[in-house]
A and B are shown apart, each in its own frame.
Chain A
Amino acid sequence: MDSKRTLSECTAYNYYGAQPQGEIQSREVKKSPSVRVDKARQLYFETKSSVSMEFPYWYTRRWEELEGEIPIVRRAEALKAGFEHITPAIFPGELLVMGKAHYLRGSYPMPWLSEAFFMAQEDEMYQDALQAGKISADEVTTMGQGGGNVTRSVGNVISIAGKFGLRKEEMPILLHIAQKWFNKSVDDVGHKYEQLVPGYKEKEEIMRAVICMFDSGYTLPQGREVMNYYYPLQYGIEGLKNICKEKLDQTAGHPDMDRLYFYRAVHIMLEGLQSWIKNHAKEAKLMASLEEDEKNRAEFLETVERLEWLADNSPRTFHDALQLIWILHVAVLNEDAISGLSPGRLGQVLYPFWKRDMDRGVLTREKTLELLESMRMKFTELDCFASMGVVGGVLSGNTFNNLCIGGLTKAGESAANELEILILESAMTCATPQPTLSLLYDEKLPEEFLLKGIECTKIGTGYPAWINNRVAMEFLLNNFKNEGLDVEEARAWSIGGCLETSAGSWMPLELDGVIHYIPGGSAPATSVGVHFISLPKVLEAVLFDGLDKRTGRRVYPSHGYKLDSYDKVWQAFTKYFSLTVEVLTLTNNIQHDVWGKISPSVINSMLKPDCLEKGKDISHKGSRYNRTFNVEVCGGVNLVNSLASIKKNVFEEQKFSLDTLKTAILENFGYNSASETGAYSLTGQMKTTNFMNWLKIHKQCLDAPKYGNDDPSVDTIFKEWQDYFSTMCRNYISLYGEPLYSCQISVSTHGPMGSVTLATPDGRLSGAAFADGSVSAYPGTDKNGPYALFSSATCYNHASSQNSQLNLKIHPSVVQGREGARKFLEMIRAYLRKGGFHVQFNIVDSRMLKDAQKNPGKYRDLMVRVAGFTQYWVELGKQIQDEVISRTEYAEI
C-alpha cells in the first residue's frame, strides 16, 4: 500500500513487485478426480450442512435410564445407544462408507456439553447465558453466505447459527432434550465451579470484551490432536473386546478400581460400534437388492462383506484398513464436539497394508488413487456442531483434519514413501479442503518427494503446509522429556489440528510375522488451555486503564501505571496479559475437569497409548504424554507494530502525546469503522468529515516501523514479546499438573477479534482484521520482500513455542514451470533453514478473489488458505475474505 496516498484512494490490493496486469491468472496445475469421485464432489457441492436429533435423543434417553451408574459406564452406555440408533446411510458410488449422522454433511448437537446455545432467544436461560458473556463471541462472528451453509430458515428447515439446517419437526425435541441438560451439562456444571476461582468476575468481563474467544474446557474438549489407529488395526474390534474382558478379570476387586469401570466402559462402547457397523452392512445389503446394474450391485455386496468382516476383525487389505481407520475416526468425532482430529501420518500407517497388496497384485496405483480421493471426500463431508463463535469465528466452518507426510522414521531416516506420493497426487486430482496436508520437511527427504510437494502447493489450495521437522522435535524434547520422550519417540510426532505440534509414539503393527513401526498420536487434546487472547485488545485496555471502550465496561482493575515511558506501557501490558492467562487457566482447568468427570472420553481413550494398558481414560492421565495445554494468542504482529509506533512516535520522537494518540484511536483516525462500511481490511475504508484532523497522526502511525522488513527497531520488540510469552506460560499449570506452553496460530480469530477492537497505534482502523497467523506481516506492510520477512520472522527461536504460522500469497506466474518450482522450493528451504517452523501459501491472483466476492456463484469450488486451513471461499465470512484479499501478493520472489 502506498502510504503517501490516503486510504480511500488506494487500490484494494497490496503487492510486492510489479502489479499484475491483464487478465486474471489462474493456477497452473489443474487435475481431475475419477468419474465416481467427481460425482461425489458434485453431490457435496449441492448438499447443505444439516443436523439431526437422532444421536442426542438416544444418548439422552439412555443416560436418564442409568441414573446412579458409574459415570464413565453411564457415558459408554449413552454413546452405545447413540451409535446403535444412527439411521444407516450408504450413498451410491461410495468406496468408503459411514458418517457422523445420516446426512451427507451431517452432525448433531451435544447438549450434554452445552445446551445454552439451543435455547430460544426469548428464553430466560438464553438471556442468563448472554449476561454471563458466554455468547459474546457468537455475536461478532459472521458465517460465509454461500456454499453448504444454511444461511436462513426456508420451508421446513430452520437455520441454526447461519450454518446448519434442522428439520422443523425436530426443533421441539431439540429444545426438550436441551432442557433436560440444564444445570447438568459440562458447561453448566463447569460454570458453577469456575465461579469459585478468585477473580472470576474479571473472566466474565474478559469474555464479554472478546479478549478471549471461547471457553476451551467444554466447547471443544477434544481435538487438535493426532489419532492413533494402531489398536483396531492390530487387534480388530472383537480382539479389543477380548483384551477388555481379560483386563476386567484382572482388575475386578483389586485396588485402583477405576480401571475396572474403564474397561467395562470400553467394552460396552465397542459393542455399540459393532452394532453401528452391522447396521450399515444391512443397509448396503438393501442397496444391493435395489441395484439393477451388476457392477454396482457387486460393489454394494463387497461393502457388505467388508463391513461384516470389520465389525469383528482386523483388516485384511489396504481397502479394509482405510475403511476401519475411517470408522474409528468418525467414532471419535461422535463422542464430543471435536475439531482438529488429525489422521496424522496416514500414509506411513497404511503403507504396510498397501505394499503387501501391491506386491500381491490385488491393488493398482489407479485404484489406490481412487480410494484416496474417496477418502478426501469423506473427510471433506465432516461437519462440527458447536457454537457460532467457535464454528464460524474460530474455525470458519473447517474441521482441520491434518494429514502429515514426510518426517523421519524411528531410526531417523526419511519416512517418505510411494503411498505418500499418491496422497499428494490425490490432493491435486481431488482438491478439497480435507484432509489438509502438512509436509514435515527434513534435509533427509528425497528431492523427488519435495518437488511433488511443490507441484501440489502450486494448485493453490494452500496445502501442503511446509513444516520444520527438527524445530518440532526440539520443541517436543524440551517439553516432554520429563515424561520420558526421547529423540526416537520425538520422530513420531505429527500435527494435531491446524498446526499443533503433537507428541507421538511408534506402535508395533504386525503383518505376516513382520513388525512395522507405525507413528500415531499419544497425547490428548491440545484444544484446551487458554484460547485465544486478543493481544491488540489487551493493549487497548492498557491505554484506557482497564476499560473496554466498545462496551464501556471495566474489564481489568486500573493497572496503576502512569504511562510516561515505553517501559511502563510494556509493564502494564504484561500485567494485564498475565492476569488474563491466570484467570483463564484456572477457569478452563475447572471446565475440563468437569468434562472428565461427567462426560469422559471412552473411544479416544481406548485408542490413545497408554490408556488401554493403564486402564485409565484420558482425563485420568492415561495417555503416554500429558503436557498438552497451551496459551493461544492472536494479533501478535499488530501488538508489536503498535508498540513500535508508541515507542517511536510518542516516546522517542515525541511527535504526539499518548493522550493525543488515544483520542485519535477513539476517533478511528477520522474513518468510519469496519462494521459501518462492511469492509474488514485496511483498504476500502471510508473517511468521515473530520478526517483531516487526524490525517497527519494517522500517517505517522502508518509510517512507524513495521514487522516483516528486517528492521531491528521493531524486530527487537517482536523478539522481546516472543521471549516473554514463551517463558511466562510456564508459570501456569494445567489440570494435568504440567506447565502450559505458548501456541501461536490465529485460525480465523483475527477476523472477529479485530471486529471488536478499536483502531490500533500501528494505524490499523477499528473493526479491521488483525494480521493472520503469528509471523505473517500485516497486509501491505511487508515492503522488502520475502527474505526480509523471513529474517524478521526468525529473530527468535521457533522451538520455544508449539508453533509459529506464516502465510504468504504468491501470484501464480511467479512459480510457473520447472524453474518456478525450483525457485519456490529454494525459497521454502531458505526459510526453514533459518529456523522458521511453518510456511503455507496461497497461489492466487488477488483479483480472482475480489471477483469471487462479487460473483460467488462462479467460484463454488474456489479454495483459499486462511491460517492453517483451507476452506471454500463461499463458506468464509466477509471478515476473513477481506483479510485474505488484502494480504500482500508477492509478484516476485
Chain B
Amino acid sequence: MNHIDCKYYLATDAFKGLCKRTKNPVNADEPACSDFEKAPKCRHCKNFSAKTDFMGLCMHKVEAYPDMQALTCKDFTWS
C-alpha cells in the first residue's frame, strides 16, 4: 500500500502530499509507513463492484472508479 491509499495522506498535488500525522512530505506512489490506515475509497466499499482496474459500479447501477475518495460519501460502507 502506498501513501495515496492512506487515511492520513494529505495530497498537495497529483504527485505528492503531506502526512497528516507527522506533517512530513511524502510521495503519493511510494510505500506507506507502519502507521498506515486504509483511506475510505470506493474500492473498499461494500456497494462498489469493480469492472476493470479503473472503472466499476456503485450501488450496482452508477459508474464509479475504485480510487475515488469516499470520505464524504454517506453511502460508503466498509466491505
Contact = CB atoms under 8 A, between A and B. Distances in A.
Contacts of A61: 62
Interface string A34-56: 00000000010011111101100
A88 interface: yes
Contacts of A170: 65, 67
Interface in A201-236: none
A57 B58 CA distance: 12
A322 B26 CA distance: 31
A268 interface: no
Interface string B5-22: 000101111110010110
Nearest to B69: A87
A290 B11 contact: no
Given A92-B18, A92-B23, A173 B13 contact: no
Contacts of B68: 53-54, 57, 173
Contacts of A719: none
Nearest to B22: A290
A87 B20 CA distance: 14
Contacts of A57: 64-65, 68
A155 B18 contact: no
Contacts of B66: 169
A170 B68 CA distance: 8
A155 B15 contact: yes
A95 interface: no
Interface of B is mostly: loop
B45 interface: no
B73 interface: yes
B75 to A, nearest CB: 11
A154 B54 CA distance: 18
B13 A50 contact: yes
Contacts of A154: 15
B12 A43 contact: yes
B55 interface: yes
B63 A279 contact: no
A91 to B, nearest CB: 7
Contacts of B15: 48, 50, 154-155, 157, 165
A700 B63 CA distance: 66
B72 A156 contact: no
Contacts of A51: 14
Contacts of A286: 20
Name the interface size band of chain B: 20 to 34
B13 A49 contact: yes
B20 A287 contact: yes
A60 to B, nearest CB: 10
Contacts of B21: 290
B12 A290 contact: no
A619 to B, nearest CB: 30
B73 A85 contact: yes
A53 B21 CA distance: 26
Given A53-B68, A156-B29, A290-B20, A172 B54 contact: yes
Nearest to A158: B14
A103 B12 contact: yes
Given A48-B14, A155-B29, A290-B8, A176 B69 contact: no
Contacts of A85: 72-73
8 contacts: A47-B13, A49-B13, A85-B72, A88-B71, A102-B11, A167-B14, A169-B66, A287-B20
Interface of A: 43, 46-51, 53-54, 57, 61, 84-89, 91-92, 102-105, 150, 154-157, 165-167, 169-173, 176, 279, 286-287, 290
3 tightest Cβ-Cβ pairs between the two chains A and B: A165-B14, A50-B14, A172-B54
Given A43-B12, A47-B13, A92-B18, 16 more contacts: A46-B12, A50-B14, A54-B68, A57-B64, A87-B71, A102-B11, A102-B69, A103-B11, A155-B29, A156-B14, A157-B14, A170-B65, A173-B54, A173-B68, A290-B20, A290-B21
